[in-house]
Structure 1
Amino acid sequence: MAGGPGEPGEWRGSLRAALGGLTTRGRSFLAAGGAAVVCAYVLGQADLLRVGVLLTALPLVCVGALHRTRHRVAASRRLSPASVPTGTEAGVHLLVENVSRMPTGVLMLQDRVPYVLGSRPRFVLDRVEPGGRRQVSYRVRSDLRGRYPLGPLQLRLTDPFGLVELTRSFSSYDTLTVVPRTEPLPAVRLAGEAAGWDEGRQRSLATAGDDDVIPRGYRHGDDLRRVHWRSTARYGELMVRREEQPHRPRCTVLLDTRLRAWAGSGPGSAFEWAVSGAASVVVHLLERGYSVRLLTTTGAPLPGPEGTGPGSSPSETAGLLLEALAVVERSREPGLSRAVDALEGGDGEHGGLLVAFLGRLDEEDGALVRRMRHRVGGALAFVPRVPGEPAAGDGPRRTLREAGWTALPYAPGDALPALWRQADRAGGLAPGRTVGGER
């Protein structure tokens, strides 16, 4: 039986496959029957011969019956939801329908599930009448982010004696996306951020007079209330006011993905904390109206070279970025040079805010973090805490402080909202600040 979701699969295989479906019990019956026939021939026992023939014939009859049985079964799978944060359960609902004119026997269902999501679920369905449906459900949960295939679904058909078992599989599968867990962050004033969406809109409307309007051509979807009639009459085509487009604050979130910069692995590692922190900052800033760009130290923007699209809503952009963070991996990139090139390449505009989740830094990285700081208006870095480090900070924190960054140390398990609030207390992310108050 093979077919996609909702497509019927026909249960009919070759005789060789049916013989290969003999269970241990069926093979034992054949062996015992053959031995009884041989002993009956040697000893001349007619009663033992009849027993041997019965033991040998019963598995073969069951093989022939299952071989000639035709079942048309359709199956579909539904995930609710299809994307969940780490540590959260998702429901998987399986629907099996008998689309043939004959009832089925006992069906055993098994769905293939990666080991990180738990054990493989198994179900037993009694006789399904023609046109009948059966629905079963199970739940999966993962503490590791990523994309995990669910399926294909396997169905097993057995005879009443348990002598033969035939297995058929559907070819389709679904994908469960486990995204990093996000935490709600408090609203703090960040250095280097421009005015918000509403403030920028009010300021542009208040300062721009009719003579200061720079019109542009009408585009599909523009509000007709923005049509500038004087320019329309001058150019002979519909023109709209450009100054009503508010200036959105900009932020770049940088995630250090260098393999050598992180120690340990697993859900409790510093790298996973950084991935979850980057996801929380991205969602928080998008909710505040920021234009967010997510970079890794490979220089590649996430979710891809095409970005998220200028017309995407904040929720759509957040979803795409979270799905990209679900599969981000550590790379063998040796340094931060590609990340610096990506920041300097950009779109030609300076300023904005940079929030970086960094790993271990060496002396060579010092010059590169200085170049990053010159590119942006405000810079905040989360760096792993070194055991025994003084409050003022040494090593990486001192390097960042001297370069004009605001450096916040963390350890896996620390609450990001508290650190985010400390950043505001550290002088509104003023350049040259660290937690501890020392410049």
Structure 2
Amino acid sequence: MRGGYLPTIVVVLFLIGVILGQVPLILVAFLLLLVWGTTRLWERYALTRIEYRRRLSAKRAFFGEELLLELEIANRKPLPLPWVEIDDEMPEDITFLKGKTTQSHKVDRVHLTSLLSLGWYHRVTRLYPIRCDQRGYFNFGPTRIRSGDLFGFSRQEIEVSDVNQLIVYPRIVPVEQRGIPSKQPVGDIRTKRHIFQDPILTMGVRDYHFGDSLKRIHWKTTARLGKLQTKVFEPTTSVDMGIFLDVRTVQPPGWGAVTQSLELGVMAAASIASHAMSNGYRVGLYANQRRKPVGELVRIPPSQHTDQLVYILEALAQIHSSESMPIGRFVSLESRNLPWGSTLVLITAVPTESLLATLLRMKRVGRQVALVIIGSSKIPRMDGLPVYHISDNTPWREVETLNLQGTAQ
């Protein structure tokens, strides 16, 4: 402890005062003894029975949404604290509308520091409005709390390791298509719906007709009636869409990232998924990078689950610029798991020759494929494959509508 020399000073002053009969020296000695005792008290108990809580008004938010961050500290003992410093580690990409942050030595982190005093059994709550100006997974915390005596002789510090997590979804904007209607990747659902008979939903039976599959024969009814009977299934509809996002934004073999292209790609994937699902599609998402912390490539198969869009947006919130597999190879592997009538929408800023060859090969064998290019990359004619461009001239934060500029191929 700083001030550990005080007991020696007290003893010396007291002895001198007694020997010389100087009452003021004796009083000073007792005053210093009181200061020393108080300092020891604060040193030992300042940060005991301190409660600290951090709350967010929501655990998930959309881009641009404003939330409240609540910080609360309580002193649960009869010892007042003349000063308490709270140092909260915060994500740099979250905008604090109130309060001042300082840069941390850690990458993408800042510190929010509060200085206050706490009386005995006293509680202080502070509210900080924040705005979500960047998609991602964000951790609030940990926190360091410091306190000590009034004179600065002692100082204690504790760390509160609790962390609050916030997921900020990517931007979703309206989708506007300008192209050949018959080739629109997310056009009117009525033009894309595939009608087939669902083998799970049986309506009844009918007499067997030449050419009916033996798998469809209803054997129990056949035995009862004495003649072959065929199952009749209910007609149903299914429209599946697989959105493939290429996270590479620079021409291979180069490495790095173009933030504008990456964010436009993520925004395009989120907006097309939302638009397609509102039009009745079953949408899935695929990206050629590994998700943290599971380490698996982004694979969300098409589904009608009520939370499907949430799953897609949460995956897109984590997208970064590190490629784990070339997109052409990834599409070839994953497309095998999609129903044959599915529409594949591939979003990329780097339409390489190998990727274009993969898409053409899929198109020629009957796959429904659409290519969405971020930026103004020029590509050769694609033999009937619908191609759309998204301009990268407007900063992604200012884009109000996702214009898919279709071109004839």
Distance 1:201 1:368 in 2: 24
Q: Does 1:73 align with 2:50?
A: yes
Shift of 1:183: 0.8
Counterpart amino acid of residue 336 in structure 1: I
Please state which structure has a larger fraction of its residues in helix: 1
Secondary structure of the 2:356 match is helix
- Supply the distance in 2 between the matched residues of 1:413 and 1:52 (Cα, whole angstroms): 73
Give the drift of 1:256.
0.8
Return 5+ residue gaps in structure 2 as ranges: 96-100, 102-110, 207-219, 225-231
Q: Contact 1:194–1:248 at 8 Å: present in 2 too?
A: no
Task: After TM superposition, give the deviation of residue 398 of structure 1 in Å.
Answer: 2.1
Maintained 8 Å contact 2:43/2:155: no
**Residue equivalent to 2:315:** 324
- Give how far 1:334 is off: 6.3
Q: CA deviation at 1:297?
A: 3.3
Q: Does 1:341 align with 2:342?
A: no
Structural mapping, 1:287-302, within 5 Å:
287-297=278-288
Letter in structure 2 aligned against 1:297: N
Question: Aligned pair 1:307/2:300, yes or no?
Answer: yes
Equivalent residue in structure 1 for 2:340, among 332, 350, 361: 350
Report how far residue 310 of structure 1 moved. 4.7
1:145 is displaced (CA, Å) by 2.8
Counterpart of 1:384?
375
Contact between 1:302 and 1:321, CA under 8 Å: does it hold in 2?
Answer: no
CA distance in structure 1 between the partners assigned to 2:317 and 2:391 by the alignment: 22
Give runs of aligned pairs for residues 213-292 of structure 1, distance below 5 A: 243=234, 246-258=236-248, 260-261=250-251, 265=257, 269-292=260-283
Quote the offset at 1:291 in angstroms: 0.9
Instruction: Decide whether the 8 Å contact of 2:195 with 2:237 is kept in 1.
Output: no
RMSD: 4.6
Task: Provide the C-alpha distance between the structure 2 equivalents of 1:51 and 1:343, rounded to a whole number of angstroms.
Answer: 85
**CA deviation profile, 1:235-273 (whole Å, cap 9, x unmatched):** xxxxxx9627x423111111112364498747x521111
SS of the aligned residue for 1:398 comes to: coil
Alignment of 1:19-418 (within 5 A): 19=1, 22=2, 60-69=36-45, 71-98=48-75, 100=76, 102=78, 104-106=80-82, 107-117=84-94, 119=101, 120-130=111-121, 133-141=123-131, 143-186=133-176, 191=184, 196=189, 210-211=204-205, 243=234, 246-258=236-248, 260-261=250-251, 265=257, 269-297=260-288, 307=300, 310=303, 312-313=305-306, 316-333=307-324, 335-347=326-338, 349-374=339-364, 376-386=367-377, 394=378, 397-399=379-381, 401-402=382-383, 404-413=385-394, 415=399, 417=401
5+ unaligned residues in a row in structure 1: which ranges? 1-18, 213-229, 235-240, 387-393, 427-432, 434-438
For the structure 1 residues 64 and 346, does the alpha-carbon distance in structure 2 shift closer, same or farther, using more than 3 Å as the test? same
* Aligned counterparts of 1:318 and 1:96: Cα–Cα separation in 2: 38
| Deviation, structure 1 residue 292 | 0.8
Give the TM-score normalised by structure 2. Answer: 0.68
Shift in CA distance, 404/304, structure 1 to aligned 2, threshold 3 Å: closer
Q: 1:181: Cα distance to partner?
A: 1.3
Paired residues, what number? 352
TM-score (norm 1): 0.64
**Structure 1 CA distance, aligned partners of 2:367 and 2:30?**
86
Identify, as 1 or 2, the structure richer in strand: 2
**Aligned-partner Cα distance in 1 for 2:269–2:129:** 28
Q: Secondary structure of the residue that 1:123 maps to in structure 2?
A: strand
Query: Does the 8 Å contact 1:253/1:354 carry over to 2?
Result: yes
